[in-house]
Structure 1
Amino acid sequence: MTGAPEPLDRLHPGLVHHIVNTLGWSGLRPLQEEAIEPLLDSSDAVLLAPTAGGKTEAASFPLLSKMATENWTGTSVLYVCPLKALLNNLLPRLETCTAWLGRTAALWHGDVTQPRRKKILRERPDVLLTTPESLEAMLVSTNVDHRAFFSGLQAIVIDEVHAFAGDDRGWHLLAVLERLERVVGRPVQRVGLSATVGNPEQLLTWLQGSGGGRRQARVVAPHLRDEAPVLPPPGDIQLDYVGSMENAATVVAALHRGEKRLVFCESRRQVEKLGESLRAKGVTTFLSHASLSVDERRRAEEAFADARDCVIVSTSTLELGIDVGDLDRVIQIDAPGTVASFLQRLGRTGRRPGTIRNCLFLAVDEEGLLAAAALLLLWSRGWVEPVTAPPEPRHIVAQQVLALCLQEHRVGDRLWHEWWGGLGPFGTSAEPIVHHLIDEGYLERDGGMLFIGPEAERRFGYRHFMDLTAVFTAAPEFTVLAGRTEIGTTNPSLLTEEVMGPRRLLLAGRSWQVTYIDWSRRRCFVEPVDGGGKARWGGAGAARGTSYELTRAAREILLGATPPVSLTRRADAALTQVRGDRAELVHPDGTVIVRGGRDTNVRWWTWAGYRANATLTSTLTTVADPLQRPTDTCVRLRDDLTAAEWKKATAVAADQLGLPAVDARALNGLKFSATLPPRLAEATLAARLADLDGAVAVLKEPSRFTILGQ
């Protein structure tokens, strides 16, 4: 009697041959083994593994086997990523694997040239690597016969799926996938690849879209079956307090010489300042962030991959799975906004045999120290944020209806919702949005058919409606050029503010003097100078602030909790100082209302996060100061508030929560909000600013009044 076949035996023999002989692998990793059965059986799946866990091969090996065994033709697999740089990085790997079976892979995104696109349309690759925005552009383009091109589509792999699911790009991706399935005329297998998330089953349900509950689905995460994860030894996760960015540069320059170091910062301006300081100290330094040109980033990443004794300073652009070579150390300035981001960054190290994962936190101020300690406390407990889609994506519904009319030229005014198969907000509940699009001229209706109207042409028609294909808003910036070489982009305010003497910019870690500004084409020309440059960028959209969980963890730190990592003497002393300075703002048995002291305002120290505090502010209108911007940690109350008024206001508040007030200017960050009735646009943003659960949790806690100085 023979036993069950080995997982490897289910793969195509030609593929197995190359796995063993070309790659030299003696076997597959657990994730790769366990993904074979569900993927060969056409199940939807989410494959979870830490960074560098072999997720790409876990998805591609079974799908390429099916492609060969079932003789798929045309473009049968789409590989979707959130970043063009990640696609560029993955292409050689997938080209190699497809070539083993006589198949092809190709790249399609915004930087791919027109001649290359025409070749792809003539000679359809078996695997196409792309972004959701490029998929949308293909569907609406008059140059692409989307029905013919996608006719052979069988499976879609979504890499870094958690990066999509938590924002509007996820809603956009799901809606585009539903339209693709209708174009193809059959269900298409969906495979998501992700680092560890707090709610993998819910992420899988989200990924399935309208097919959730109707198609087979599996979460494949062998590492989660093990016992509690073993944390790196305390000495390999270290927290230091350095007090300034200049001191951070001194520490980075002095530590781990001869090694390759990746430093993460939380803003482009921090990246520029630290990069400039490191270069001034003679450290070979490269930079990566979203406002550097594609060529500038590519040069930096390639040089860093080939170098040894060097540093690359980056925002989250290098957080995802882009290969920057053999990395020795990760250094974090202050703290990332989520535990999930930290796990991604930590996973950049420890990839070589005999090495372990490591991260050094350098806090440049007290807030950064508290945030880092709070994050490490949650991480040490194995907690990771659940990934949840933003509520009420009405603006994406409007965008999708317009995109569908571009794609099909005209759509039945009673049949449009069928294109999304009953996917949540894209069903008949969106009728008021469609009526508004018609009333405002974005759509025209004639003979029971909908088609693009003059207002949509006016607002989005530029460059063949390209602005309609992306759901994120890019801030208007000026392109910076040194001769003919593009360096990156900068905030227009740096070009308009009054300055004494020459106008200088800091970009790519170097100072540049502005020599000419082309206002009509939004370009400025520069030449290198020795120093004095300034960096500035503005963010679009409403601030999200810190989460309830991370802010509560900061409260625990102030109450005496300490993460089980290595703290330097400086960090330990600074934490002790912070705890002493803020002792009156926390209490183990509930929240604190503080009057007096250095602050003349009355503040309710909730430690509940930005969104919960915004919800509380809009709910407690009789006792909260109306002229305030909520913070992560507290809500400002009326100066004349009495204990009796407080008790009365909070007694029923948990049952009467109000959504946060919305500043009309904040709607500019909600792309396509202009296509909605104003009340629906404001309601959409208000729902996203709210944390009802966090607000209720705080209201259920006892609160005590403290009067300082008495």
Structure 2
Amino acid sequence: MTARPEAPAADAADLLHPVVLHHIVNTLQWPGLRPLQEEAVAPLLAGADALLLAPTAGGKTEAATFPILSRMAAENWPGTSVLYLCPLKALLNNLTPRLGTYTGWLGRQAAVWHGDVAESRRNRIRRERPDVLLTTPESLEAMLVSLRTDHRGFFAGVRTVIVDEVHAFAGDDRGWHLLAVLERLRRIVAAEQASAHGDRGVPRNTTPVPRDAPDGPPAAAGAEPRWELQVIGLSATVGNPTELLRWLQGSGAGRRPAHVIAPDLPTASSATAAGPVTVPPGEVELDYVGSVTNAAKVLATLHRGEKRLVFCDSKKTVEELGQALRALGVATFLSHASLSAEERRRSEDAFAQARDCVIVATSTLELGIDVGDLDRVIQINAPGTVASFLQRLGRTGRRAGTTRNCLFLTLTESALVHAAGLLSLWGQGWVEPVVAPPEPRHIVAQQVLAYCLQENRIGDRTWADEWNGLAPFDRSAEPIVRHLVRAGYLDSDGGMLFIGPEAERLFGHRHFSELTAVFTAAPEFTVLHGRDEIGRTDPVLLTDPVEGPRLLLLAGRSWRVTHIDWKRRRCFVEPAEGGGRARWLTSADGGLSFELTRAMRDVLLGTDPPVPLTRRATQRLATVRENHLDVVHPGGTMIVRTEDLTDVRWWTWAGERANRTLVASLGDLADPLQAPTASYLRLRSDLTPPEWRAATADLESRLCLPHVTDEALAGLKFNTALPPRLAEATLATRLADLPAATTVLREPVRFTTLEN
């Protein structure tokens, strides 16, 4: 795999189709291509796989689509030949007009397909088969299993798949789902080509043959040349771009040419790759405000007349800050996943048109959704990763003469240290590697069931061929398939497997729509004002005892509950003056990483981030450092007991997953019922140093996976389709950090008593 292609010729744009080049010059009136777009032309025209890396608004979409549209026109690709996959429906809606314009230059068409697209529009897409289809992986799979879509005919001519925001897929189970669906797509393309070329004795499930393969079967007279599926990923900065591209290639990794194209980014994309990278801080500032109310006051007085995008770490904070800003007379809009699509669209459209205003959002606006030119980004507290911060920072500085900027307003002392640690890592040029979650056995079960729906019945010995040998969807999954048969998810007859009664019962609702959704959504009630949907809320707010009227906070406004339809999970409301509450369940994740937690320890030890701190932040950070003198040490970890011996804490500063691993491995030395934090875990109160040394002497060689609760297991969708032990092992592996736990155990430990 080539880390970066050869420097492009000065006339890279001249390689594009003349019509595309004409419109770049005359319609878009660009003076030239950006470096990323120049470097992408030659490898993409040659059919290579690629990962295009650039900050937000770095021109990645055009870098991918201009060469691919040029190929489409030059080679006269028929039917639906390009799939453009996005993680969010809103991003698809945002991109469709732009891609519709580009395809229109060539007399071609683009269309969007996702869960909100009306059936009449879908029927038109089935009939007319647009040249470029924008969709999500879940909707793509829904088309594969649908009886209404001729999936073989529809997808037979697909040449290229573009995956936007690929890092948003790769870090969780949606990435495994994406890879598996793309392998099934490869099989359809290969089978249809085999049929078109008159291959005999070639089963439908066959490995794709490169069009330039010297020993491939000869093409039938007049037949189209063979091709392999080309995959192109678009991403912001990641710490492991070469590995991410190899992951995206799936079964094509190592067989196909591949390029990481990132001319606008440093050659070393993580501090562990080739030493620290110098990153100009720009206009980034860190402040401490102490409360949502104070944050609203700062936002109401700062940068008046400008468009400000405020990111929050929870939907609850979005609602509370939105209400507080409106009370101060600030034109405020909200966006988060529990607001209705119409409510979000109104907010985003109104914000895009306005000037002196604020939009408050969760990570829903972190990706490339266009909300117009922004002047400022404000971060309440801190995101969980450097990569997420880079995405948010990249929302600014798009206009000529402007710079990228971000103001951190932290609400708590822990958030202040978190933000300072994150900014320290950013200043070093360090970015998290994007790593797929290990052992996705539940996705394997989902894929086998989905494949049965797609083909009606599959061979009990040939099912693994469908994923072209890609692990873990290969023969190693046979125990899972046997369990699916035993448990009734699959029926077996005459050497064939097909959907069984248990799968019908659990996933058959609405034509098996639940089977194509990888995540389990938290149970929420739809909130309605008359016939208008406002959003969704946690049912706990509808059951908690209250005095007086039951008030909700949603879309930045207070609502009084007038009626609850428990059967249909609906809640009817009317406007109220104030006092509403907001609450949503948060899904469990791995918490803060080892690297970020260690950076926070460094901050407590005196390291300052390479950005300006306000006087409030400087004073508060000094106080926090003084209060943590007894729990941080540069030479190792600390075990600290209170003077009355009632509490003993091991300050590992290792991250939540590492601490979970250590709790499970320490046995009765640790409190088994605790929920470890990223910085410490609790030990037995009567623990002595000799007992500690004896118990941990060989602990590194017998580390255990964390305990999995039934509640946590319920959040792993399709866990019931696995043997219980496999389901628990899958989740336990994801909650563990064995390398970080090992690092901690190899460090010196200091014992101290905290005096009152």
In structure 2, distance between residues paired with 1:210 and 1:4: 32
In structure 1, how many angstroms separate the alpha carbons of the residues matched to 2:287 and 2:558? 29
Q: Is 1:700–2:705 an aligned residue pair?
A: no
2:610 is the counterpart of 1:605: no
Measure, in 1, the Cα distance between the counterparts of 2:489 and 2:577: 52
Which structure 2 residues correspond to residues 546-565 of structure 1 after superposition, within 5 A?
546-565=592-611
Question: How many angstroms apart in 2 are the aligned matches of 1:253 and 1:468?
Answer: 46
**Structure 2 equivalent of residue 658 of structure 1:** 704
Please list, as runs of the form range in 1=range in 2, the aligned pairs for 1:417-436 lying within 5 A after superposition: 417-436=464-483
Tell whether the 8 Å contact from 1:622 to 1:649 is kept in structure 2 after alignment: no
Per-residue deviation, residues 88-112 of structure 1 (Å, max 9, x unmatched)? 0001110000000110000000000
**Contact 1:623 1:645 (C-alpha < 8 Å) held by counterparts:** no
Tell me how far apart the structure 1 counterparts of residues 509 and 644 of structure 2 sit (CA, whole Å): 54
Post-superposition offset of 1:140: 0.6
In 2 relative to 1, CA 212–562 (structure 1 residues): closer, same or farther, beyond 3 Å? same
2:198 maps to which residue?
none
Please state whether the residue corresponding to 2:256 is helix, strand or coil: coil
Which one of 601, 620, 632 corresponds to residue 666 of structure 2?
620
Q: Which runs of 5+ in 1 are unaligned?
A: none
Does the 8 A contact of 2:278 with 2:429 survive in 1? no
- Cα deviation, residue 295, structure 1: 0.4
Q: Equivalent residues in 2 for 1:466-615 (5 A)?
A: 466-540=513-587, 542-597=588-643, 600-615=646-661
Query: What is residue 370 of structure 2 aligned with on the other side?
Result: 323
**2:98 counterpart of 1:93:** yes
The offset of 1:440, in angstroms, is: 0.4
Contact 1:232 / 1:357 at 8 angstroms: preserved in 2?
Answer: no
- Aligned equivalents of 2:449, 2:260: Cα separation in 1: 34
How far is the alpha carbon of 1:452 from its aligned partner? 0.2
**Quick one: distance in 2 between partners of 1:578 and 1:353?**
40
2:493 paired with 1:442: no
Q: Residues 259 and 329 of structure 1 are in contact (CA less than 8 Å); yes or no, is this contact kept in structure 2?
A: yes
1:207 maps to 248
Q: In structure 1, what is the Cα distance between the partners aligned to 2:361 and 2:10?
A: 46
Distance in 2 of aligned mates of 1:303 and 1:606: 47
The one of 396, 404, 409 aligned to 2:451: 404
User: CA contact under 8 A between 1:232 and 1:356: conserved in structure 2?
Assistant: no
Name the SS for the 2:545 alignment partner. coil
Residue 45 of structure 2 is matched in structure 1 by: 40
Corresponding residue of 1:219 = 260
Q: Distance in 2 between matches of 1:327 and 1:681?
A: 45
Q: Distance in 2 between matches of 1:30 and 1:225?
A: 13
Query: For the structure 1 residues 632 and 229, does the alpha-carbon distance in structure 2 shift closer, same or farther, using more than 3 Å as the test?
Result: closer
* Distance in 1 separating the partners of 2:567 and 2:700: 53
Q: Give the equivalent residue in structure 2 for 1:264.
A: 311
Structure-1 residue corresponding to 2:173: 168
Say whether the 8 Å CA contact 2:277–2:428 is kept in structure 1. no
Q: Distance in 1 between matches of 2:655 and 2:730?
A: 20
Q: Does 1:178 align with 2:183?
A: yes
User: Does 1:276 find its partner at 2:323?
Assistant: yes
For residues 236-278 of structure 1, the C-alpha deviation after alignment (integer angstroms, 9 at most, x for no partner) is 1110110111000000111000000000000000000000000
Quote the Cα distance in structure 1 between the aligned partners of 2:81 and 2:110.
Answer: 11
Counterpart in the other structure of 1:51:
56
Instruction: Quote the Cα distance in structure 2 between the aligned partners of 1:230 and 1:638.
Output: 45
Which amino acid in the other structure matches residue 691 of structure 2? Answer: E
Q: CA deviation at 1:539?
A: 2.1
> Across the two proteins, how many residue pairs are aligned to each other?
706
Q: Percent identity?
A: 69
- Report deviation, 1:599: 8.2
Specify the alignment match of 1:463 in structure 2. Answer: 510
Q: Which amino acid aligns with 1:370?
A: V
Structure 2 stretches of 5 or more lacking a match?
1-7, 191-207, 209-227, 269-275
- Shift in Å, 1:654: 1.2
1:188 aligned to 2:229? yes
Q: TM-score, normalised by structure 2?
A: 0.92
Aligned to 1:671: 717
| Cα-Cα RMSD | 1.3
Aligned pair 1:63/2:109, yes or no? no
8 Å Cα contact 1:7-1:37 kept in structure 2:
yes
Q: CA deviation at 1:644?
A: 1.1
Q: Quick one: which amino acid aligns to residue 11 of structure 1? A: L
Offset at 1:626?
A: 2.1
Contact kept? 1:232, 1:358, Cα under 8 Å: no
1:418-453: CA deviation from partner (whole Å, max 9, x where unpaired): 000111111111000000000000000000000000
| SS of residue in 2 equivalent to 1:499 | coil
**Distance change >3 Å, CA 152–CA 662, structure 1 → 2:** same
**Equivalent AA in structure 2 for residue 255 of structure 1:** L
Q: Does 1:107 align with 2:112?
A: yes
SS of residue in 2 equivalent to 1:224: coil
Contact 1:166-1:388 within 8 A present in 2 as well: yes
Q: Distance in 2 between matches of 1:233 and 1:657?
A: 40
Equivalent residue for 2:686? 640
Deviation at 1:497, TM superposition (A): 1.2
The one-letter amino acid paired with 1:189 is Q
What is aligned with 1:414?
461
The structural deviation recorded for 1:5 is: 6.8
Report the Cα offset of residue 81 of structure 1: 0.2
Q: CA deviation at 1:651?
A: 1.3
Give, in whole Å, the separation in 1 of the partners of 2:267 and 2:488. 57
CA shift digits 1:531-588 (9 cap, x unpaired): 0111011123x33211101100010000000001010010000000000111100011
CA distance in 1, matches of 2:645, 2:75: 72
TM-score by structure 1 length?
0.98
Question: Relative to structure 1, is the Cα distance of residues 141 and 5 closer, same or farther in structure 2, using a 3 angstrom cutoff?
Answer: same
